Homo-oligomer: A and B are copies of this chain.
Amino acid sequence: MLVNGKPGNLISIRDRGLLYGDGVFRTLLAENGKARHWPLHYQKLKHDCIALGIICPEAALLSRQLNDLLLEHPDGVVKLIVTRGEGERGYAPPNPGKSTVIWDISQPPSYPDDRGEKGIKVCYCRLRLGSQPRLAGIKHLNRLENTLATAEWSNTESDEGLLMDGNNNVIEGTRSNLFMVSQGKLITPELSRCGVAGVQRDRVIDWAARHKMPLQTRDIAQNELLHADELFLVSSIIGLWPIRELEQRHWVNFPVANLIRRDLDGENA
């Protein structure tokens, strides 16, 4: 673990990351000392910092710190947090602020190997995501909605929960982005009012462009999901998992999801 470039696992109780969730983060997989798609994660981190007015550390600095971390721990789930740092008491952001940079690495995930092939069972969460265009898409530290929603399904047979907004549009999984395959088209939810736009989602969108598969980003009503040809969830940690069961509907074959998954996994190598 590194805090502001030095080995350590502690931060100040006056850090705005703790006080207000005033920061952003990334989670990515490391294998054999290499972090997957780090440049894409850095782009997202920078975008999210700018959106919140947080000073984003230079790519070269973070790359060096990441390398230091991976020299000691070559495999696992890497977490990078950048907060707005410390300031005076109160909500007003310090100007200029000095960001806090935190690196952590955990054990590689222990999900069953066959989820990519066989798919997973998912449920709907009762919690509805609030609408906040100023924060939508950003992977920020205000994640109580994800915590409460995950508590709904984490002790059940489901492997992930789907989150809807107040108008029953399906937005994402609690820790993943959603894609629907319908009549040869890919459709993924609009994330301009809520949700997190992950790196793996961008990779699927990029795959679709390269393979000339039509892709729409738009609201997806809950009742559309049961009529989908395929559904799948993606994230930097899980990769791509097709959905095999959602309420009364079961899917057996996932030809498009399989194709995309194999291509994306191949690009990880």
Closest to A87 in B: B147
Measured between alpha carbons, how far is A147 from B132 in the docked complex, in Å? Answer: 14
Contact B102 A141 (CB under 8 A): no
Measured between alpha carbons, how far is A106 from B79 in the docked complex, in Å? Answer: 31
Contact A151 B13 (CB under 8 A): no
Which of the 9-residue segments A16-24, A28-36, A180-188 touches chain B? A16-24
Contact A15 B12 (CB under 8 A): no
The yes or no answer to A123 lying at the interface (CB within 8 A) is no
Measured between alpha carbons, how far is A154 from B20 in the docked complex, in Å? Answer: 17
Q: Assuming A91-B150, A106-B89, is B174 touching A81 (CB within 8 A)?
A: no
The yes or no answer to A134 lying at the interface (CB within 8 A) is yes
Measured between alpha carbons, how far is A149 from B93 in the docked complex, in Å? Answer: 10
Interface residue tally on A, bucketed by range: 35 or more
Contact B20 A18 (CB under 8 A): no
A146 contact set on B, CB distance < 8 A: 20, 91
Measured between alpha carbons, how far is A89 from B175 in the docked complex, in Å? Answer: 12
Q: Which of B21, B79, B175 contacts A141 (CB 8 A)?
A: B21
The yes or no answer to A9 lying at the interface (CB within 8 A) is yes
Closest to A146 in B: B91
A227 contact set on B, CB distance < 8 A: none
A10 contact set on B, CB distance < 8 A: 10-13
The yes or no answer to A218 lying at the interface (CB within 8 A) is no
